[in-house]
Amino acid sequence: MTRVLVIDDEPQIVRALVINLKARHYEVDAAHDGATALELAAGRHPDVIVLDLGLPDMDGVDVIKGLRGWTRVPILVLSARHSSDEKVEALDAGADDYVTKPFGMDELLARLRAAVRRAEPVPGGTDDVIVETPGFTVDLAAKKVVRGGKDVRLTPTEWHLLEVLVRNTGRLVSQKQLLQEVWGPSYGTETNYLRVYMAQLRRKLEADPAHPRHFITEPGMGYRFER
Amino acid sequence: MTRVLVIDDEPQIVRALVINLKARHYEVDAAHDGATALELAAGRHPDVIVLDLGLPDMDGVDVIKGLRGWTRVPILVLSARHSSDEKVEALDAGADDYVTKPFGMDELLARLRAAVRRAEPVPGGTDDVIVETPGFTVDLAAKKVVRGGKDVRLTPTEWHLLEVLVRNTGRLVSQKQLLQEVWGPSYGTETNYLRVYMAQLRRKLEADPAHPRHFITEPGMGYRFER
DNA sequence: CCCGCGCGTCAGGGTTGTGTCAAGGACGCC
DNA sequence: GGCGTCCTTGACACAACCCTGACGCGCGGG
């Protein structure tokens, strides 16, 4: 299911958006200010963001920049200002689209669909959706892991960590990068999280968790997933 | 250079676009009808398409569908019609953005930049930087060294030192420069560190550590990495 | 011939990093 | 309100890493 993050300080607009989105089977989170928005974006990993530029606590463009520092998630800007400069500034800061208020709900939804659509990975592209190892199989599209013919239950965080590692199969991923991709941009140093969750992944997926063959530790640097 | 395909039957609009785009160092092709447009799109492989919906020979939406049959190139629709239905139809057919005439050139260019930007491949993605020697292989992106088919385990400091040397393949790197790059700006004289870690690198990577062929000492000056 | 200098080698000890376990708390669900 | 799942956090043992000092060797100059 597609997850949308709506950021606006006007309750009636948020309500209208939430109702319309939920009716079309989107999963919706909402924030009323920039700080909450950045937090939610990091924690919930939305597939698309609808952002009102006029927020109470910070400049909308700064919100865009804050997001673009670590994610390429589509950002659809909503604004009451029609001036060309505003649009150019927001778009160049990293926004994907710019809609002026008052807006037609149909149009907004169509633009949302367009933004989500083009962010989708190429179907049948070069990147493998299924990664096999001698011990288990990871299906990135179906978000499923099979080991010995049986599905392995992973928690959201475990899956997220696995996903980042598998997408970088063979490459070393630094601890900082893992933390920021999974827990959000402000978590650069909490390496104990990594240790706990790497242990859980190994316990669930490695034949011998004490001597991992696929989830390899590079001391002082990071971790590496090998098939 | 970014290549743009402009499709419009109004000569003055095409002229305005071409002039503005060329001034910003885009490469521009132009078509006045749908048939020519599809042909040019296939032959020239533009990085982005600006498409007027009101064409003399075919419906603009059909042009979009024709393009989407084989390419994901960003399509920016230009139209005199403001109706919501038109927009929704074009966007759902596969357009990336929809701008109504009359439009501001600044805004259009900003939307164009946004469309091109998000079509770019992720920087630092899958492209690997690999350096090979007769004895071993260094993959700078994956932070991996392979020797005789097996991975070589390097500590952070060893890797850091190797990285600096490899990035300067063939060139002499002074002891001071090595110390400062690996241990920090305040370490200019602790040459014993270098001796210890060069020895470890040689032991792990050289066929005959006592007579190094790749990690060469230039007495009194520094070290040099040769393939 | 002896000495100083620069470099290579080795092994120990302090420091940092990692694996593991278990308990507490937040959250959603019935 | 009770229950279960999941995330966070702290404590501890152990392993890995980095620094350090000592020694040997080759070379050139006194």
Gap between the Cα atoms of B46 and B31, Å rounded: 12
Q: How far does the CA of residue B115 sit from the closest CA of chain A (Å)?
A: 7
Amino acid B126: pLDDT: 55
The whole-number Å distance from A29's CA to D9's C1' is 28
Spell out the residues 6+ positions from residue B130 whose beta carbon is closer than 8 angstroms to its own.
B137, B138, B139, B140
Contacts of residue B64 in chain A, CB cutoff 8 Å? none
The whole-number Å distance from A22's CA to D1's C1' is 30
Sign, CA torsion B99/B104/B105/B106:
negative
pLDDT single digits (tens) B40-75: 999 999 999 999 999 999 999 999 999 999 999 999
pLDDT single digits (tens) B146-167: 999 999 999 999 999 999 999 9
Please give the residue of chain A at the shortest CA–CA distance from B87. A107
Q: How would you list the strands of the sheet with B130-132, edge to edge?
A: B130-132, B137-139, B144-147, B150-152
pLDDT averaged over 10-residue windows placed end to end, chain A, 227 residues: 91 92 90 87 87 93 91 94 94 97 95 92 64 93 91 94 94 95 89 96 95 96 96
pLDDT single digits (tens) B84-122: 999 999 999 999 999 999 999 999 999 999 999 998 876
**What DSSP string describes B112-130?**
HHHHHHHHSPPTTSS---E
Amino acid A125: pLDDT: 46
CB of A131 closer than 8 Å to CB of A141: no
CB of B93 closer than 8 Å to CB of B65: yes
B32 interfacial to chain A (CB closer than 8 Å) = no
Q: Which of A113, A122, A219 sits opposite B92 (nearest CB)?
A: A113
Instruction: Tell if the CB–CB gap between A110 and B87 is shorter than 8 Å.
Output: yes
Q: What DSSP element (H or E) covers B7?
A: strand B3-7
Q: How far does the CA of residue A150 sit from the closest CA of chain B (Å)?
A: 31
Gap between the Cα atoms of B6 and B50, Å rounded: 5
Q: Is the pLDDT of residue B127 over 80?
A: no
pLDDT single digits (tens) B67-93: 999 999 999 999 998 899 999 999 999
Amino acid A42: pLDDT: 79
Task: Check if residue A153 sits with its Cβ under 7 angstroms from strand D.
Answer: yes
Q: How far does the CA of residue B92 sit from the closest CA of chain A (Å)?
A: 6
Q: Is the pLDDT of residue B123 over 80?
A: no
Single pTM value for the model: 0.75
Q: How many CB atoms within 10 Å of residue A23?
A: 8
The whole-number Å distance from A56's CA to D9's C1' is 34
**What DSSP string describes B181-218?**
HHH-TT-SS-HHHHHHHHHHHHHHH-SSTTS-SSEEEE
Range of lowest pLDDT (A36-45, A213-222, B22-31, B129-138): A36-45
Q: Which residue is nearest to nucleotide D19 (CA to C1')?
A: B193
Cα-based distances in Å from B211 to A174, B132, B217: 34, 19, 10
